[in-house]
Structure 1
């Protein structure tokens, strides 16, 4: 039997509770337990005027942004529509059915103003990290670092070749916000000062972004999202935005390690990374701070012609010389110099040479230096630290570390596929920082919700 036609019957009064209509196993219920915004208004008090019309509650804006980044809602217009329609989103944002959702333009005004001036988004991220530490998800013993390219909101059609680009002709009064931020970061190691090499193209709309073809495909403008994670549960303990070049990415590692030491008193016993971080200066920096570098050494001393490489020569640290496989010594200096300018060059590289007459009479000359009168070996300033990394690479702990390093790559895959952060919506260095901080905060909150879900409460009959 067909039932009666369903028609909406208007009623004078409704009894409705959002609490009863949000499922107990909804992700936002678990996330809500770890979002502590009680001190938010006090944190922002100095950035609001004491006169004028009342503003939108900053806690509401932050809760809406968290909803957007936790569920991959990239557009703020769409976010406002979703919060207006979705009961669970309204419940999380503390909005009743009759409460009005803020206009999308409110986010831009606050982000470009008081949110950035107060570094609120970093404060929010670090509050989440502190909660992860409090819940026992971070030990701080083993950390891993990596970077991932995120496409910038720029395209080649609106760009200039490097030989035609001149930052000195920009009129700051008429320049867009992203261009002004670019000029302000020219002296920062993460952006302008990261390298003297100019990119092939410079974007007009976002000149701080990097033109790169690092993915072995079509080149594009991008920023690098750098993560420092604790490998126990894959919690992100710090995040940094940089240009998409190796020097900036490696340099951000020092910034993040120093920052977690100051903010959370975390000093890892080991750092896990890929070969890009295995340069001599980086390894020396880690060894000086008593951090074991579980990192493949970035080494180009190998030879492809079958002759002996530097690894075939034994280093005698006590006597400051190399010993070749035939037992001959390669020394840096054969006599003492009274003039210090004739001694070491001070450029971070030392040259060790064998005697010409010894090499000429050596039976293994064809295998050692067939095209030279005598064998020469260069030794970098941080070669001792490189050797520490080589020795670590022979241990079983190193094999485990290489498996743990995949946790960083999994977080980047989650960032792009689940949270939808394949391309930035905001421009400029500050826009990239804002998006990366919010995305990392959302990932940590989802991690807390997954490991420590909200207890299920029985429903009333």
Structure 2
């Protein structure tokens, strides 16, 4: 006999939401480590003492965390999902009959009280502190990198550089994203990062950068910068910047300083790609911060015409000379000065030259200096620092450091493919900052819940 299901009307139900959420569900692991006990105290000064009670800010934060953890990009859809999903209701402390806030509430609080109180930054740092307390941060090796995230603008609504003048914009009549752009013109992460004027400027979000860094069609973007601990890939700091190399390198210093100031952690070594291998950055890392740089040196001395480059010559530190492949020496000076300071080696630019007689009779002159009588090599002021960085990348540990550096690239892949943050929904420098901070918080919470739940079940964290 074919059975059919009948819906029986009941006046009363006994329903315990707690028992319907599996013990191994992701939201349980995240809820275990999300501490919002100080939230109301932090925000009390931003609310009026009179009037109707507001929506609980903890509910908004929990909904935002769910949105970023589960990759729900639309706030309208987020409200629908929380309304329908029992696990999300449980995480947000909502009963079956409780109403879901309207999607417009998120925008009002994001651009108001949350941003004024810097709540998202506090939330992120609290989660990082929890990761440190749980033993997921070694503090020995860090890695840094940046990834381009498309801005919420189109080329059709942009102007060429010669048609855009920020000086004629009236801040009182400009949209919020434009006002934020004007406020960041002197910041190293945005307007002051470089003097090069972008080819196009977006009207709706002028702080976004027109870039073709992906070697494909150009687009407007922001750079999401991560500083991670390489033990378990925990994001130690996050920064939003303009999508230019100078801003990204500067953000690495900002994040390293902020991590040490906030958590008292300074790594023994840092791994990064060639974009961070400029002389200025290497000097800052090695001399000022005493951090070993496992970073390929950004070097433009290599020749492409088939002749010998500077790297083909051997540097003799004790003799203060270069030795060419034919065994001849290039010296800075061949005189004996009465003042030892004139011939002392130190951090200053120098020019090393071979003897004319050696070059004229050399069988390899065509490979060395075919257009000049003698071969000369310029040694930069901080070339000793660059040589030290080259020694680091040539060491046996560099393979380990570069393998661990891949974890930051995996985080960016997870950010775009799993969490869906391939394109921003908020505009302006503060909008990108909020999105990147919340996404980094979500990634740390997911990692924390996964690794700690594995440990509690007897499995070793990977």
Which category of TM-score, normalised to the shorter sequence, fits these structures? over 0.9
Give the corresponding residue for 1:430: 430
The Cα shift of 1:253 comes to: 0.5
Give the corresponding residue for 1:459: none
Give the corresponding residue for 1:352: 352
Is the Cα–Cα contact under 8 Å of residues 424 and 435 in structure 1 kept in the other structure? yes
The Cα shift of 1:414 comes to: 0.5
Is the Cα–Cα contact under 8 Å of residues 308 and 367 in structure 2 kept in the other structure? yes
The Cα shift of 1:358 comes to: 5.1
- Cα deviations by residue, 1:128-167 (Å, 9 ceiling, x for unpaired): 0000000000011011111111000011000001111111
Structure 1 stretch displaced more, 379-388 or 329-338: 329-338
Give the corresponding residue for 1:63: 62
Give the corresponding residue for 1:327: 328
Any residues of structure 2 matched to 1:118-129 within 5 Å, and which?
118-129=117-128
Is the Cα–Cα contact under 8 Å of residues 328 and 358 in structure 2 kept in the other structure? no
Give the corresponding residue for 2:257: 258
- Cα deviations by residue, 1:77-107 (Å, 9 ceiling, x for unpaired): 1111111111111100001112121111111
Q: Distance in 1 between matches of 2:418 and 2:164?
A: 37
Give the corresponding residue for 1:85: 84
Find out whether 1:132 has 2:131 as its counterpart: yes
Give the corresponding residue for 1:447: 447
Give the corresponding residue for 1:311: 311
Q: TM-score w.r.t. structure 1 length? A: 0.93
Structure 1 stretches of 5 or more lacking a match? Answer: 457-461
The Cα shift of 1:271 comes to: 0.4
Indicate the SS of the match to 1:74.
coil
Give the corresponding residue for 1:218: 217
The Cα shift of 1:242 comes to: 0.7
Give the corresponding residue for 2:460: none
Q: Distance in 1 between matches of 2:145 and 2:284?
A: 17
Q: Distance in 2 between matches of 1:171 and 1:84?
A: 42
Structure 1 stretch displaced more, 127-136 or 93-102: 93-102
Give the corresponding residue for 1:394: 394
Is the Cα–Cα contact under 8 Å of residues 321 and 332 in structure 1 kept in the other structure? no
Any residues of structure 2 matched to 1:111-122 within 5 Å, and which?
111-122=110-121
Give the corresponding residue for 1:31: 30
Indicate the SS of the match to 1:271.
strand
Indicate the SS of the match to 2:178.
helix
Is the Cα–Cα contact under 8 Å of residues 140 and 266 in structure 1 kept in the other structure? yes
Any residues of structure 2 matched to 1:166-185 within 5 Å, and which?
166-185=165-184
Residues 1:348 and 1:73: Cα distance change in structure 2 (over 3 Å): farther
Q: Distance in 1 between matches of 2:320 and 2:180?
A: 49
Is the Cα–Cα contact under 8 Å of residues 352 and 378 in structure 1 kept in the other structure? yes
Residues 1:351 and 1:420: Cα distance change in structure 2 (over 3 Å): same
The Cα shift of 1:42 comes to: 1.1
Q: Distance in 1 between matches of 2:235 and 2:269?
A: 16
Give the corresponding residue for 2:101: 102
The Cα shift of 1:36 comes to: 0.3
CA RMSD after TM alignment: 2.4
The Cα shift of 1:332 comes to: 6.5
The Cα shift of 1:113 comes to: 1.2
Q: Distance in 2 between matches of 1:114 and 1:40?
A: 12
Find out whether 1:385 has 2:385 as its counterpart: yes
The Cα shift of 1:308 comes to: 2.1
Q: Distance in 2 between matches of 1:164 and 1:336?
A: 59
Indicate the SS of the match to 1:370.
coil
Is the Cα–Cα contact under 8 Å of residues 324 and 330 in structure 1 kept in the other structure? no
Q: Distance in 2 between matches of 1:45 and 1:336?
A: 72
Structure 1 stretch displaced more, 59-68 or 304-313: 304-313
Q: Distance in 1 between matches of 2:236 and 2:424?
A: 22
The Cα shift of 1:439 comes to: 0.4
Is the Cα–Cα contact under 8 Å of residues 355 and 374 in structure 2 kept in the other structure? yes
Q: Distance in 1 between matches of 2:366 and 2:212?
A: 41
Q: Distance in 2 between matches of 1:420 and 1:61?
A: 20
Q: TM-score w.r.t. structure 2 length? A: 0.92
The Cα shift of 1:217 comes to: 1.4
Is the Cα–Cα contact under 8 Å of residues 321 and 329 in structure 2 kept in the other structure? no
The Cα shift of 1:359 comes to: 3.5
Give the corresponding residue for 1:231: 230
Q: Distance in 1 between matches of 2:266 and 2:4?
A: 69
Residues 1:218 and 1:306: Cα distance change in structure 2 (over 3 Å): closer
Aligned residue pairs, count? 452
Give the corresponding residue for 2:72: 73
Q: Distance in 1 between matches of 2:265 and 2:96?
A: 44
Is the Cα–Cα contact under 8 Å of residues 332 and 350 in structure 2 kept in the other structure? no
Is the Cα–Cα contact under 8 Å of residues 222 and 241 in structure 2 kept in the other structure? yes
Give the corresponding residue for 2:52: 53
